[in-house]
Amino acid sequence: MDRYSSVARALHWITAILIFFNLFLGFAHDALPREWKVMPVHKSVGLTVLALTVARLLWRLAHRAPPLPPEMPGWEKGVAHATHFLFYAFMLLMPLSGWIMVSAGDRPLNWFFLFDVPKFAVSKGDAIVGLSGEGHEVMAFAWAALIGVHILAALRHHFILKDGVLRRMI
Protein backbone atom coordinates (compact mmCIF):
# COMPACT_ATOMS: atom_id res chain seq x y z
CA MET A 1 0.00 0.00 0.00
CA ASP A 2 1.28 3.44 -0.93
CA ARG A 3 1.35 5.93 1.93
CA TYR A 4 2.25 9.55 2.30
CA SER A 5 5.80 10.08 3.55
CA SER A 6 6.35 10.36 7.29
CA VAL A 7 7.08 14.08 6.86
CA ALA A 8 3.81 14.63 4.97
CA ARG A 9 1.86 12.66 7.58
CA ALA A 10 3.46 14.60 10.45
CA LEU A 11 2.76 17.94 8.78
CA HIS A 12 -0.84 16.86 8.09
CA TRP A 13 -1.62 15.79 11.66
CA ILE A 14 0.19 18.68 13.37
CA THR A 15 -1.58 21.15 11.11
CA ALA A 16 -4.94 19.39 11.61
CA ILE A 17 -4.62 19.57 15.40
CA LEU A 18 -3.67 23.25 15.27
CA ILE A 19 -6.58 24.02 12.95
CA PHE A 20 -9.09 22.24 15.21
CA PHE A 21 -7.70 24.10 18.20
CA ASN A 22 -7.79 27.44 16.40
CA LEU A 23 -11.33 26.98 15.11
CA PHE A 24 -12.38 26.20 18.67
CA LEU A 25 -10.62 29.32 19.98
CA GLY A 26 -12.11 31.45 17.24
CA PHE A 27 -15.67 30.24 17.82
CA ALA A 28 -15.46 30.19 21.63
CA HIS A 29 -13.19 33.15 22.45
CA ASP A 30 -16.00 35.32 23.82
CA ALA A 31 -17.06 32.58 26.27
CA LEU A 32 -13.54 31.83 27.51
CA PRO A 33 -11.91 33.68 30.43
CA ARG A 34 -10.22 36.91 29.38
CA GLU A 35 -7.08 36.09 31.42
CA TRP A 36 -6.42 33.10 29.15
CA LYS A 37 -5.28 35.55 26.46
CA VAL A 38 -7.16 33.51 23.88
CA MET A 39 -6.82 35.90 20.94
CA PRO A 40 -3.02 36.31 21.12
CA VAL A 41 -2.74 32.51 21.21
CA HIS A 42 -5.27 32.24 18.34
CA LYS A 43 -3.16 34.64 16.27
CA SER A 44 0.05 32.77 17.07
CA VAL A 45 -1.48 29.43 16.12
CA GLY A 46 -2.77 30.98 12.89
CA LEU A 47 0.71 32.21 11.99
CA THR A 48 2.07 28.75 12.79
CA VAL A 49 -0.52 27.15 10.50
CA LEU A 50 0.52 29.56 7.75
CA ALA A 51 4.21 28.65 8.15
CA LEU A 52 3.45 24.92 8.26
CA THR A 53 1.26 25.27 5.17
CA VAL A 54 4.13 26.82 3.23
CA ALA A 55 6.30 23.90 4.39
CA ARG A 56 3.58 21.44 3.35
CA LEU A 57 3.28 23.00 -0.09
CA LEU A 58 7.04 22.93 -0.63
CA TRP A 59 7.17 19.31 0.54
CA ARG A 60 4.22 18.41 -1.67
CA LEU A 61 5.85 19.96 -4.74
CA ALA A 62 8.87 17.72 -4.23
CA HIS A 63 6.99 14.55 -3.21
CA ARG A 64 4.03 13.10 -5.08
CA ALA A 65 0.93 11.98 -3.22
CA PRO A 66 0.25 8.25 -3.29
CA PRO A 67 -2.31 7.34 -5.92
CA LEU A 68 -5.95 6.99 -5.07
CA PRO A 69 -7.39 3.49 -5.54
CA PRO A 70 -7.92 2.73 -9.24
CA GLU A 71 -11.45 1.51 -8.54
CA MET A 72 -12.44 4.91 -7.12
CA PRO A 73 -14.91 6.64 -9.47
CA GLY A 74 -13.61 9.64 -11.38
CA TRP A 75 -16.12 12.01 -9.82
CA GLU A 76 -14.95 10.98 -6.35
CA LYS A 77 -11.32 11.55 -7.28
CA GLY A 78 -12.33 14.97 -8.58
CA VAL A 79 -14.10 15.81 -5.34
CA ALA A 80 -11.06 14.63 -3.34
CA HIS A 81 -8.72 16.84 -5.36
CA ALA A 82 -11.08 19.83 -5.10
CA THR A 83 -11.36 19.32 -1.34
CA HIS A 84 -7.59 19.23 -0.92
CA PHE A 85 -7.28 22.38 -3.03
CA LEU A 86 -9.85 24.11 -0.79
CA PHE A 87 -8.01 22.97 2.34
CA TYR A 88 -4.78 24.52 1.09
CA ALA A 89 -6.65 27.69 0.12
CA PHE A 90 -8.16 27.90 3.63
CA MET A 91 -4.79 27.17 5.26
CA LEU A 92 -3.34 30.15 3.41
CA LEU A 93 -6.28 32.58 3.30
CA MET A 94 -7.49 32.21 6.90
CA PRO A 95 -4.19 33.20 8.54
CA LEU A 96 -3.53 35.90 5.93
CA SER A 97 -6.99 37.44 6.43
CA GLY A 98 -6.46 37.40 10.19
CA TRP A 99 -3.03 38.95 9.80
CA ILE A 100 -4.51 41.72 7.64
CA MET A 101 -7.25 42.41 10.23
CA VAL A 102 -4.76 42.54 13.11
CA SER A 103 -2.45 44.78 11.09
CA ALA A 104 -5.15 47.48 11.02
CA GLY A 105 -5.48 47.46 14.81
CA ASP A 106 -3.37 49.03 17.50
CA ARG A 107 -2.59 45.84 19.43
CA PRO A 108 0.79 44.23 18.84
CA LEU A 109 1.10 41.03 16.84
CA ASN A 110 3.54 38.55 18.29
CA TRP A 111 4.25 34.86 18.09
CA PHE A 112 3.46 33.20 21.42
CA PHE A 113 4.73 36.30 23.27
CA LEU A 114 8.28 35.52 22.07
CA PHE A 115 8.81 38.05 19.28
CA ASP A 116 6.89 40.66 17.34
CA VAL A 117 5.57 39.90 13.88
CA PRO A 118 5.56 42.75 11.35
CA LYS A 119 2.19 44.11 10.33
CA PHE A 120 0.92 44.87 6.86
CA ALA A 121 0.62 48.56 5.91
CA VAL A 122 -3.18 48.77 6.13
CA SER A 123 -5.66 50.97 8.00
CA LYS A 124 -9.08 50.27 9.51
CA GLY A 125 -10.95 51.97 6.68
CA ASP A 126 -9.20 50.03 3.90
CA ALA A 127 -11.43 47.78 1.79
CA ILE A 128 -9.01 44.87 2.19
CA VAL A 129 -9.40 45.05 5.98
CA GLY A 130 -13.20 44.90 5.79
CA LEU A 131 -13.07 42.10 3.24
CA SER A 132 -10.59 40.20 5.41
CA GLY A 133 -12.79 40.55 8.47
CA GLU A 134 -15.92 39.29 6.74
CA GLY A 135 -14.00 36.63 4.84
CA HIS A 136 -12.29 35.35 7.99
CA GLU A 137 -15.63 34.70 9.66
CA VAL A 138 -17.33 33.18 6.62
CA MET A 139 -14.32 30.98 5.89
CA ALA A 140 -14.29 29.71 9.47
CA PHE A 141 -17.81 28.30 9.12
CA ALA A 142 -17.16 26.97 5.61
CA TRP A 143 -13.90 25.37 6.71
CA ALA A 144 -15.51 23.74 9.74
CA ALA A 145 -18.17 22.24 7.45
CA LEU A 146 -15.55 21.05 4.96
CA ILE A 147 -13.55 19.45 7.77
CA GLY A 148 -16.66 17.57 8.87
CA VAL A 149 -17.22 16.29 5.33
CA HIS A 150 -13.53 15.35 5.06
CA ILE A 151 -13.66 13.33 8.28
CA LEU A 152 -16.88 11.59 7.26
CA ALA A 153 -15.41 10.74 3.85
CA ALA A 154 -12.24 9.33 5.45
CA LEU A 155 -14.33 7.20 7.82
CA ARG A 156 -16.49 6.02 4.90
CA HIS A 157 -13.40 4.92 3.02
CA HIS A 158 -11.98 3.16 6.06
CA PHE A 159 -15.03 1.43 7.53
CA ILE A 160 -17.43 1.02 4.62
CA LEU A 161 -15.37 0.88 1.43
CA LYS A 162 -12.24 -0.54 3.14
CA ASP A 163 -10.15 0.73 0.25
CA GLY A 164 -7.06 1.91 2.15
CA VAL A 165 -7.55 5.64 1.50
CA LEU A 166 -7.37 6.58 5.19
CA ARG A 167 -4.39 4.30 5.83
CA ARG A 168 -2.37 6.41 3.38
CA MET A 169 -2.34 9.20 6.00
CA ILE A 170 -2.03 7.23 9.25
Residue 26 belongs to a domain: yes
Name the domain count of the chain.
Answer: 1
Residue 155 belongs to a domain: yes
Alpha-carbon dihedral sign for residues 116, 121, 125, 128: negative
CATH number, residue 130: 1.20.950
Say what the pLDDT of residue 100 is.
98
What gap in Å lies between CA 45 and CA 48, rounded to an integer?
5
Q: Which residue in 14, 8, 13, 22 sits closest to 143, CA to CA?
A: 22
Express each pLDDT in 59-84 by its tens digit.
999 999 999 999 999 999 999 999 99
Express each pLDDT in 23-47 by its tens digit.
999 999 999 999 999 999 999 999 9
Q: Is the pLDDT of residue 155 over 70?
A: yes
Express each pLDDT in 96-148 by its tens digit.
999 999 999 999 999 999 999 999 999 999 999 999 999 999 999 999 999 99
Structural domain of residue 120, as residue ranges?
6-168
For residue 111, list its beta bridge partners: 115
Residue 129 burial class via C-beta count within 10 angstroms: exposed 0-12, middle 13-18, buried 19 and up:
buried
pLDDT exceeding 90 applies to what percent of the chain? Answer: 98
What three-state secondary structure class fits 111?
A: strand
Residue 143 belongs to a domain: yes
For the whole model, what pTM was predicted? 0.95
Residue 1 belongs to a domain: no
Q: Identify the H or E element spanning 89.
A: helix 74-103
Residue 159 belongs to a domain: yes
Residue 133 belongs to a domain: yes
Residue 56 belongs to a domain: yes
